[in-house]
Amino acid sequence: MEALPKQPVNPETPLQLLLFVDKRPSSGERIRQIRHCLKELAAEDVYELQVVDVSEQPHLAEHFKIVATPSLIKIHPEPHQTLAGSNLVAQLKIWWPRWQRSIEEYQSLIERGTVAEVASLNQIQSIAQSAEVIRLSDEIFRLQREREELQSQLQFKDQLIEMLAHDLRNPLTAVSIALETLEQLGHASKQEIVCSNPQLMGQLVRHARMQTKAIDRMITDVLQAARDKSAELHIQPKELELGHLCLEVIDRLREQFQAKFQQLKTDIPSDLPKVHADRERVRQVLINLLDNAIKYTPEHGTIEIAILHRTTQKVQVSICDTGPGIPLENQKSIFEERFRLKRDEAKEGYGIGLALCRRVIRAHYGQIWVDSEPNHGSCFHFTLPVYRSIRST
């Protein structure tokens, strides 16, 4: 199969043709037939024929919008014209008289020195040069895409570090409290510990161990996500009692509620269906949302937690607070990476945690959104799929 010449096409050649073929065995015979027909119709110095294999130069086929092979294109004089199909020789013989007239008109214009035609002549480039421009353009586009992807990955890894720092605070605080308590107990005599707190030592050790495992899980998941080019969270959904998990999280954060004298209201039905979700990931979402509710609800304020069997396929969790609320124009943006409300720029708040919550819920094919009015608090809602057991018949 012929390749395009590296040297420019002779601009004095009045008729320039491009023949697109593929690697089928019949292509060689097609080329021979076209060349033979052209020799019968005109002298070789009247035309120039270039053969292109579409598999070797697909960018050219795309440029000329080739949908079938073989195809013969008249690229000069303009306008372009495409002949396609198995009867190219017959079509070429039909169109040749018109092409001959266009060649004569073109040569006449050149002889008269028509400025427009001379300019057009000077602009004639070989198909090889045009193909190279197209190839380089495609290469530049590919490199730009790779650059954008690399920048996105670097930005994502930065966000992962921030997420990790944000989510490690709770378990690290719990471990620190447990260790401090154990240290204080260590100063007491064994008899005092046994008499006054027979089970306290074991509870503290178990609590510290549980929190340490949670920290290890977070670090492992973040490292795994950082290695993932698609930046998608990996979840392991299983049958889950969502109501029980919610009560566990509430119990874990009870001291934080009490520290601000906040009233906690719950509406968790006992007959909720089980959901299909990753227990630790959902725990992460609940902790993030409740932690934000505690932060933004003033002392003696109210926080409400409700779970609703919304449809036969979804369960909805709602966490509402009596905090300052979120401006309407920011209610969609708060789930974006690194977004911060102006009032929160100098402190922790909605941002990294909410972005992670959205990623987790979307990984479960659920939805997460907020209803809020300034000075009237906020309600965060998310949905999870109902667990469907598969029974053999």
Q: Which amino acid is at 369?
A: W
Q: Let me know if residue 3 belongs to a domain.
A: no
Residue 173 CB neighbours (<10 A) = 12
Lowest mean pLDDT among 152-166, 335-349, 377-391: 335-349
pLDDT for residue 242: 96
- What are the tens digits of pLDDT across the range 283-318? 989 988 998 899 889 999 999 999 999 788 999 999
Whose tokens are 């303009």? That residue is 78
Q: Kindly state whether residues 243 and 337 are assigned to the same domain.
A: yes
In whole angstroms, how far apart are CA 228 and each of 165, 224, 232, 319?
Answer: 20, 6, 7, 31
Total of domains in the chain: 3
In degrees and rounded to multiples of 5, residue 383 shows phi and psi of -120, 150
Q: Let me know if residue 377 belongs to a domain.
A: yes
Domain boundary among 125, 154, 185: 125
How much is the pTM? 0.49
Higher-scoring residue by pLDDT: 147, 106: 147
Q: Kindly state whether residues 222 and 246 are assigned to the same domain.
A: no
Q: Kindly state whether residues 244 and 371 are assigned to the same domain.
A: yes
Flag whether pLDDT at 389 surpasses 70.
Answer: no
Print the domain residue range for 364.
Answer: 238-385
> Rounded to an integer, what distance in angstroms lies between the CA atom of residue 241 and that of residue 307?
12
Mean pLDDT of 219-224: 61
pLDDT for residue 226: 56
CATH number at residue 74: 3.40.30.10
Q: Let me know if residue 196 belongs to a domain.
A: yes
Beta carbons of 185 and 193 less than 8 angstroms apart: yes
pLDDT for residue 341: 54
Lowest mean pLDDT among 4-18, 47-61, 247-261: 4-18
Q: Let me know if residue 9 belongs to a domain.
A: no
Lowest mean pLDDT among 25-39, 212-226, 289-303, 334-348: 334-348
Q: Kindly state whether residues 54 and 157 are assigned to the same domain.
A: no
Q: Kindly state whether residues 243 and 221 are assigned to the same domain.
A: no
CATH number at residue 160: 1.10.287
Q: Let me know if residue 329 belongs to a domain.
A: yes
Flag whether pLDDT at 241 surpasses 90.
Answer: yes
CATH number at residue 276: 3.30.565.10
Beta bridge partners of 372: 378
What b/e readout covers 269-280, taking b as 16+ CB neighbours within 10 angstroms? eeebebbbbbbb
Q: Kindly state whether residues 121 and 67 are assigned to the same domain.
A: yes
- What are the tens digits of pLDDT across the range 350-375? 445 788 888 899 999 999 999 998 88
Q: Kindly state whether residues 109 and 222 are assigned to the same domain.
A: no
